[in-house]
């Protein structure tokens, strides 16, 4: 059974960089035609897609975050990562990693989510 687990700092200062890692277990991140992505949810609000990286290495980002986001894969560690620069309080959210089967979603496996708070 595939499992995804997010990890990273729970508190980030304004203007700094948020870095999260998603560790995949129970299967290889480099097997199959999947999209490995990040989705976030501000407290009490809805879901927002951040971006995805395809198995080929192609990346797709939310246009509203594109200038600040980088998603990368480390196949040797079976992990993929999120970097979000110049964070503000508006970036405070529960961050989920997920495996998608299609461009539009079809996310069949999710991590449990990790709360990141942006505050000084």
Report, in angstroms and rounded to the nearest whole number, the Rg of the chain calculated over CA atoms.
13
2 contributes a contact to another protein by CB under 8 A: no
Tell me the two tokens of residue 8. 């990273």
The 8-class DSSP code of residue 42 comes to -
Choices 10-18, 23-31, 76-84, 102-110; region in contact with another protein by CB under 8 A: 102-110
Query: Using alpha carbons only, what angle is made at residue 105 by residues 103 and 110, rounded to the nearest 5 degrees?
Result: 130
Choices 26-34, 42-50, 68-76, 79-87; region in contact with another protein by CB under 8 A: 42-50
Helix-strand-coil split of the chain, %, nearest 5: 5, 55, 40
Rounded least distance, CB 104 to another protein, Å: 3
105 contributes a contact to another protein by CB under 8 A: yes
21 contributes a contact to another protein by CB under 8 A: no
Contact positions with another protein (CB under 8 A) in 72-101: 96, 101
- Total residues interacting with another protein, rule: CB under 8 A: 24
- Whether residue 109 contacts residue 26, with contact meaning beta carbons closer than 8 Å, is answered with no
53 contributes a contact to another protein by CB under 8 A: no
Query: Using alpha carbons only, what angle is made at residue 1 by residues 7 and 95, rounded to the nearest 5 degrees?
Result: 25
Contact residues toward another protein (CB under 8 A) are: 39, 46-49, 51-52, 60-63, 96, 101-108, 110-113
């Amino acid at each position: 059974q595939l499992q995804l687990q997010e990890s990273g700092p729970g508190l980030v200062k304004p203007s700094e960089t948020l870095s999260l890692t998603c560790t995949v277990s129970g299967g290889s991140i480099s097997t199959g035609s999947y999209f490995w992505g990040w989705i976030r949810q501000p407290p009490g609000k809805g879901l927002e897609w951040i971006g995805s990286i395809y198995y080929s290495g192609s990346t797709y980002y939310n246009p509203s975050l594109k200038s600040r986001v980088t998603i990368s894969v480390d196949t040797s560690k079976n992990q993929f990562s999120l970097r979000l620069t110049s964070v503000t309080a508006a970036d405070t959210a529960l961050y989920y990693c997920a495996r998608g089967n299609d461009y539009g979603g079809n996310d069949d496996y999710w991590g449990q989510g990790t709360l990141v708070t942006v505050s000084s």
